Amino acid sequence: MKDLLVDCDPGHDDAMALLLALASDRVALEAVTTVAGNQTIEKTTRNACRVLTLADRTDVPVARGMGAPLVRDQVTAGWVHGESGLDGADLPEPETEPIERHAVETIAQTAAESGALHIAPVGPLTNVAVALRKHPDIVEDIERIVLMGGTTEDGNITPAAEFNVFADPEAAKVVFEADVDVTMVGLNVTREARLDRDHVARIREMESAITTVVADLLTYFLDVYETSFEWDGVPIHDACAVAEIVEPGVLDTEHTFATVETKGDLTYGRTVADVRGVSDDWPNVEAPNANVAVDIDRDRFVEMLLDAFETYR
C-alpha cells in the first residue's frame, strides 16, 4: 500500500480527489495539508475538515498551510467554487480540527516517517515548495510528486497559465526544478477527465448521505462549467493526480524538460514543457526533469471515480 499525502485547496474537484483516495485500498492517506487557492486558507482548511467528516475519516490529520503565495499577490477562484469554496451541497459541520503542526512540517515529517511518500499537490504549490526549501533532504523520502497543475496547451486563468501554477508561479518553479520525481498533470489532459449529468444521476441513485452530497457538489460544478465555459460535462482536474498514484498508467506521460515562466508579462505562471523534444539544453534544469501527462484513459478514470463512490453507498 502506498503512503499518500494530498495537499489541496478544496474546491469541488479537490473534494473528489480526497474521496477517491479514501476509497482506495491501494493508497493510505496519511495526511491532508491545505493551502490558500480556490479560497482563503481558513475556508480551504475548514472544507478539508468537512470532507473528512462527510467520509467519516476524521482519523486522517489535516494540517493548515500557507495562506498566501511566496511572491505574487493572492488570487482565489470563488467565481468557480463559490463563497465557501464548496458551494452547492449540504456538507456537515467539521467534526475535526486542524492539528497544531503546520502543513510544511507535516509534509516533511510524513515523508520522513514514510520513506517513500507519494504527494498529490492539487492546489497552488506553496506548501510543497517551502517544505522542499526548508527540508531539502526530504527528496530522499519522497517517492513521487504527482501534481495537478499547468498545461501544455492554453490556460484557464490567463490564456497562458493554469490556476494552480498561476496562483504561485515561484513555488511551482521550485517544485518542478527540485531533484525529485515530478509528474505534471495539466489541463491538457484533465479537460478530458469529465463527468456528465448521466454520471451524476448514477451517483445520485446510490442514495447515501455521502453520494447525495457528491451529486450535489458535482451538479453545482457542472452548472458553473456549462454556464461559464459552455462545456458538456465537468473536468475533475484534481482526481486525475490521485488516480495516477492509485493506478500508475492511467496517464500517458512524456519524460522531458518542464518548468515555469516567472518573468513574462503575458506568460507569468506558464508551464513550459518540451513534450515534442525540440531542445536538449534548458536553463536551470540539468536533464529531462519531469514526466508530463499528454493523455488520459478517460473511460478508466471515470470507472475509477464511480467505483470509488460506490464504496460510499
Interface segment toward Ca ion; rule CB under 5 A; list 1-9, 65-73, 219-227, 299-307: 1-9
Please say whether the beta carbons of 190 and 287 come within 8 A. no
Mark residue 11 as left, alpha or beta (left: phi above 0; alpha: psi -120 to 50; beta: remaining).
Answer: left
Query: How many angstroms from the chain centroid is the CA of residue 218?
Result: 16
148 binds ligand RIB (CB under 6 A): yes
The one among 156, 188, 219, 271 contacting ligand RIB by CB under 6 A = 156
Judged by CB under 6 A, the residue of 7, 13, 105, 261 near ligand RIB is 13
38 interacts with ligand RIB by CB under 6 A: yes
Q: Kindly tell me which residue out of 3, 87, 141, 162 binds ligand RIB, with binding defined by CB under 6 A.
A: 162
Sign of the CA dihedral 241, 245, 246, 248? positive
Clarify whether 237 is annotated catalytic: yes
Residue 14 binds Ca ion (CB under 5 A): yes
Q: Which of 61, 121, 123, 235 binds Ca ion (CB under 5 A)?
A: 123
C-alpha cell at 280: 536538449
**Contacts for 244 with CB less than 8 Å, ≥ 6 apart:** 146, 183, 185, 250, 251, 293
- Taking the complex as a whole, how short is the minimal distance between the CB of residue 280 and ligand RIB, in angstroms? 30
When asked if residue 32 is in the footprint of Ca ion (CB under 5 A), the reply is no
CA distance 2 to 180: 17
User: Contact with ligand RIB (CB under 6 A): which of 61, 94, 123, 169?
Assistant: 123
d(CA 240, CA 231): 18
Q: Which is nearer to Ca ion, 76 or 253 (CB)?
A: 76
Span from 7-15, 82-90, 102-110, 271-279 in contact with ligand RIB (CB under 6 A)? 7-15
Residue 282 C-beta: closest distance to ligand RIB, Å: 24
Q: Which of 14, 30, 105, 168 binds ligand RIB (CB under 6 A)?
A: 14
Euclidean distance between CA atoms 97 and 221, whole angstroms: 26
Could you say which of Ca ion, ligand RIB, none residue 312 binds, taking C-beta under 5 to 8 angstroms by partner kind?
Answer: none
For the chain, how long is the longest CA-to-CA vector? 55
Residue from 213, 26, 31, 236 nearest 114 by CA: 31
The verdict on 65 binding ligand RIB (CB under 6 A) reads no
Helices (H) and strands (E) in the chain, counts: 12, 12
Strands (E), 59-127: 62-64, 117-121
CB of 153 to ligand RIB, least distance (A): 13
Enzyme catalytic residues: 237
Residues that bind Ca ion (CB under 5 A): 9, 11, 14, 122-123, 238
Where does this chain bind ligand RIB (CB under 6 A)? 9, 11, 13-14, 37-38, 77, 122-123, 148, 156, 162-164, 237-238
